[in-house]
Amino acid sequence: MNKSLFEIYKIFLIIGAQLLGGGYVIVPLLKKYLVEERKWISENELIDYFAMSQCIPGIIAGNIAICTGYKIRGITGAIAAISGIITSPFICIILLANILNEITEIEIIKNAFWGIRISVTVLIIITIKDIWKSSVNSVFTYILYLIILTALIFLPISPAIIIISAALIALIYGKVRSKNV
């Protein structure tokens, strides 16, 4: 597991440049670049980091990059990863800052981003399909999934509270089950 810092920075720079339509696209991007192409982390690790990132303050895409970078090469890996993620957004905003108000009025850009919003929805649905087997694979996890999804849709609860409650429920369930066996 000896990846050069520059390599880590480069991958996260590429991912950062593709973070269009909000930070959630980072999950399919990490899946492609780190899980499938490079096998630096496993799919389960990615799901765990995504869950963890929700409970830690800060920007999710940033947090998940820090977790992954740390996993790959410790603290320096985490620094390389977060630097890579923020480089492209940083440069873009600096370049666009002065013409910000004009850009948002251009029709063709508006239309393109209207389409990208739908792409993001599609990407997230595909990601759910991919991680489904390793996440929701027993009666217990199925019920937990349905309860959490219902709660998220109908109640204004913070994702952090959801994740922490899910961890606690699973912990209690695990304890009860191991006692019965």
53: contact with other proteins by CB under 8 A: yes
Q: Is 10 in the site for other proteins (CB under 8 A)?
A: no
In whole angstroms, give the CA distance from residue 39 to residue 32.
Answer: 9
To other proteins, the closest distance from the beta carbon of 104 in angstroms equals 4
CA 120 – CA 132 distance, rounded (Å): 18
Q: What is the footprint of other proteins within residues 58-97 (CB under 8 A)?
A: 58-63, 66-67, 70-71, 75, 78, 82, 85-86, 88-90, 92-94, 96-97
Contacts with other proteins, 93-122, as mask; x by CB under 8 A: xx-xx--xx-xx---xx-xxxxxxxxxxxx
Separation between Cα atoms, residue 173 and residue 106, nearest integer Å: 54
Cα-Cα-Cα-Cα dihedral sign, residues 16, 20, 22, 24: negative
Q: Which of 2, 139, 156, 178 binds other proteins (CB under 8 A)?
A: 178
Beta carbons within 8 Å of 93's beta carbon, 6+ residues apart = none
Compute the least distance from the CB of residue 65 to other proteins, in Å.
9
Q: Which of 9, 12, 24, 40 binds other proteins (CB under 8 A)?
A: 24
CA 17 – CA 10 distance, rounded (Å): 11
152 lies in the binding site for other proteins (CB under 8 A): yes
Amino acid, res. 141? T
Work out how close the CB of 46 gets to other proteins at its nearest, in angstroms, rounded to a whole number: 9
Q: Is-contact 7 30, C-beta < 8 A?
A: no
Residues ≥6 apart with Cβ < 8 Å to 130: 31, 43
Q: Which is nearer to other proteins, 7 or 55 (CB)?
A: 55
> Looking at 16, 35, 40, 41, which residue binds other proteins (CB under 8 A)?
16
Question: In angstroms, rounded to a whole number, what is the distance separating the alpha carbons of residues 152 and 172?
Answer: 22
Minimum distance from CB of 155 to other proteins (Å)?
11
Q: How far is the CB of 138 from other proteins (least distance, A)?
A: 8
